[in-house]
Structure 1
Amino acid sequence: MDCRYGHHFNHISSTGDSRLGVKFADALSPIQPASPPHSSSYGRLPQPTADLEQVRRDVKEFGYGFVKDALSPPQLAGLQKRLKDQAEGEAKAGVAYFDGGPKKPNQRIWNLPNKGQEFLDLLEHPLVEEFMPETLGDGYHLSSYTANINRPGSNGMGMHTDQITINPAVPQFPLGLNLMWFLCDVNEENGGTRILPQSHNGLVAPDNLFDNAGTTFASGPAGTCLVFESRVWHATGPNIAQGGERPVILQFYVRHFVRPQENFTLSVTPEVEARMTAKMKQACGYRVTATLGGVEGFRPDGTIVKRPESPVVALNADGTRTSVGRSKL
C-alpha cells in the first residue's frame, strides 16, 4: 500500500510528526519519491485558453491545463440550476453528504447520471472525445461522476492524486484523466483546487499531505474546464470567501481495466439507463473492451451490454432449475 494513500484514508494511524512517518515509510519502500519543486520556480503556469493544442502541451508539461469557454452560456445556466436544485433537494430529503471540516460546509453530490438530463448530456461533450482516447486508450469509462460545492468555512482537504488508490502504485504512466467543469468563477479565495505543477512527472510526492506549500491554485472564469491527469498531486482548496460558494462538476475517467469508484451498472436506475446513448453507456461501464465487461461469458469488443432478462441459473442434470442452498463443503 502506498503510505500516502494509507495515511490519507486513515488506514495508517500515527502519533507525532506525520511527515517523518511518511519519509520513514518511503525508506522502506521500493518507490522513494522526491519532493516536488515549488510552483514559484516556473517561468509560466497554464492559463485558460481556447487553443486545445496548448491545453495538450500544458497537460503534458505540467499535468494540467484549462479550456476556456468550454461550456456555452445555455449549458452553464442549465447545469448551475440543476445542481443547485439537486443540492437543496438532497439536503431537504435528509440524504445529502457534507464534509470540509468540523462544521462540514461542503456538499458533495454523487452518481450524477441519476440526477438529471443535463449531467447525462455532459457525458457527450466534445472535450471527452478530444482528450480521453489519446490519453486513456480504447474503452475508457468513468471512475466517478460527482459535484463538489465548496462553501465558505471549508478547510480544504489533504493532498492526494486520483491514482493513489491503485495498488501496487503505478507512477510511470497515467491511468486516469479528470475533467473539472467550473460552474462559477473560481479563484484562490473561494477554494480553487490546489495543484503541484509537474508532480505527474517522475517519482514526485509531497512529504506533508496537509501542507499547501509550493502549490498553485486552479483559477478561471465560469464555463472553464480544468483538464488534469491522475498522477497530479492536488487538493480542494480552503474557501476563505465571505459569501457565495464554489460549485464544480468532476468527470473522472480511467483506463478500461481500472475498477471504478462508483459501480454505475448497479447505481444507474433502469429509467435512466433506458434513455442513455451508447456513449453514455460506455462512460458508465456498459461497454466490453477486449475480454473485460462481458455478461454471461465472452462478448465481442465494443458490445454495449445489459442485464440479461433470463440469466442462466443453477440447473439439475436434466436441465430443470434447482434450488440453491448453503453448501456442505
Structure 2
Amino acid sequence: MSLQIRRVDKFADLQTIFRILQEDGAIIFEGFLSPEQVKQMNLDFDQPVIDTGPGSKKGEGYEQIQQFHGYQTTRVNNLVTHSKTFREQVLNDDLIHALGEYFFRKESGDWWLMATQLIQIGPGNVAQKLHRDLENFPAFIKMGKSGPCVAANCMIALTDFTEENGATRVIPGSHEWDNFEMSEEERFRHEDTIPALMKAGDMLIWDGKLVHSGGENKTESEYRRGIALPLTPAYFTPEETYAFSIDLEIVRNLPARVQKIIGFRSVFPSSGSGLWQHNFEKLEDYLGLN
C-alpha cells in the first residue's frame, strides 16, 4: 500500500494498473482527457450547471442527504444528453470499459453506470462526510473487505483539483481495513486522508470499499468541477433514471457497449437468465437497436 496516490498515464499496462488498484484501492490517470475534450465538455455543461444551481432539491426529511450533497455544491445528471463529446468519446473509452471488466466481470458479470454526474464544489463548501461507496448497498457492509466488489468510482477533473478548492480526499489502503461496521467516529478521520491533486483532464478511480470524500473548498472564488462515473454490477438499480431522461434517437447513434452501460440493453449477471428484458427477449431487440 502506498502512502500517496500512484499515477500512470492512460496507456499504462493494464496489469500494472490492476496491481496498483489491488494494493492501494485508488490510482490517478494523468491526461485521460485531451485539452480539447476538457474545453468542449466545460462548454457543454456550463448552462446546465447554471440552470441546476447549488444544493439538494430534496426537502424536509432529507437533511442528511442535503448535507452529503453539499450546500454550495452543484450536481448535474443526464450528461449523456448534455454533451456529445461525453457520450461518444468518454463513455466509449477503452480504459473505462477495461476498468469495469476488472472490477466486476469475474464475480458479477455485466456492469453498468450508477450515474453520470457532474459535481461542482463551490467556495465555502465544507468537506463531505467520509464514506465508502459500497454503503449504497447496506447488505454488503456486513460482508466487509471479503465481500464482492459492488462499486467503483471515477472522478474526471474538468478543472484543476487542488488542496484548497476541494480535491477528492482518499485513504489509500482503507479498502483492506476491517472496520466496515464501526461507527463513523470509530473508523474514519479526515486527518488520515490525502488529496487527489489533479490537472484538468486527469482521472482518479477508486475501489468502492475505499474511504474517501469530497474535500473542503477553502477558496473565495474558485470552483472545482469534475465528472463522477460510479460503476456497479448490473443487478443493482442505478441512481439515474436513464430510460426517462435520454431520447432514444440519441441512444441509437451510440456504440452497443455504451448503450449497455446506460441501461438500453439487457444485462446478464454471472448467474441467472438475464435482467432488464422484454417478454424474455433482449431489450435491444425490442427497441430495434443495431
TM-score by length of structure 1 reads: 0.71
Distance 1:85 1:182, change over 3 A: same
Q: Which runs of 5+ in 2 are unaligned?
A: 59-65
Q: Equivalents in 1 of 2:55, 2:184: separation in Å? A: 36
Q: Equivalents in 2 of 1:81, 1:45: separation in Å? A: 32
* Displacement after TM superposition at 1:259 (Å): 1.9
1:156 aligns with 2:127: yes
Aligned sequence identity (%) = 19
Distance 1:212 1:129, change over 3 A: same
Contact 2:2 2:173 in 1 (8 A): no
* Displacement after TM superposition at 1:132 (Å): 1.1
Give the equivalent residue in structure 2 for 1:195. 170
Of 245, 250, 269, which aligns to 1:267?
245
Q: Give CA-to-partner distance per residue, 1:8-60, whole Å, 9 cap, x none.
A: xxxxxxxxxxxxxxxxxxxxxxxxxxxxxxxxxx7642233213444322211
1:107 aligns with 2:107: no
Structure 1 or 2, whichever has the larger Rg, is 1
Q: Which deviates more from structure 2 when the two are superposed, residues 203-212 or residues 47-56?
A: 203-212
* Displacement after TM superposition at 1:247 (Å): 0.2
1:249 aligns with 2:227: yes
Give the equivalent residue in structure 2 for 1:207. 184
CA RMSD, Structure 1 to Structure 2 (Å): 2.8
More helix by share: 2
Of 21, 29, 37, which aligns to 1:75?
37
- For 1:222, the aligned partner's letter is A
Give the equivalent residue in structure 2 for 1:299. 281
Q: Equivalents in 1 of 2:240, 2:44: separation in Å? A: 21
Contact 2:92 2:258 in 1 (8 A): yes
Contact 1:193 1:237 in 2 (8 A): yes
- For 2:78, the aligned partner's letter is N
TM-score by length of structure 2 reads: 0.80
Q: How many equivalent pairs are there?
A: 263
Q: Equivalents in 2 of 1:259, 1:244: separation in Å? A: 35
Contact 1:64 1:226 in 2 (8 A): yes
Q: Which runs of 5+ in 1 are unaligned?
A: 1-41, 309-329
Q: Equivalents in 2 of 1:242, 1:286: separation in Å? A: 42
Distance 1:272 1:183, change over 3 A: same
* Displacement after TM superposition at 1:283 (Å): 1.0
Give the equivalent residue in structure 2 for 1:135. 103
Matches within 5 A, 1:1-329: 44-50=3-9, 51-53=12-14, 54-91=16-53, 104-121=71-88, 122-137=90-105, 138-169=109-140, 170-171=143-144, 172-205=147-180, 207-208=184-185, 211-290=189-268, 291-299=273-281, 304-306=284-286
Q: Equivalents in 1 of 2:248, 2:68: separation in Å? A: 36
Q: Which deviates more from structure 2 when the two are superposed, residues 286-295 or residues 108-117?
A: 286-295
Give the equivalent residue in structure 2 for 1:311. none
Contact 1:56 1:65 in 2 (8 A): no
SS at match of 2:227: strand
Distance 1:72 1:116, change over 3 A: same
SS at match of 1:49: strand
- For 2:222, the aligned partner's letter is G
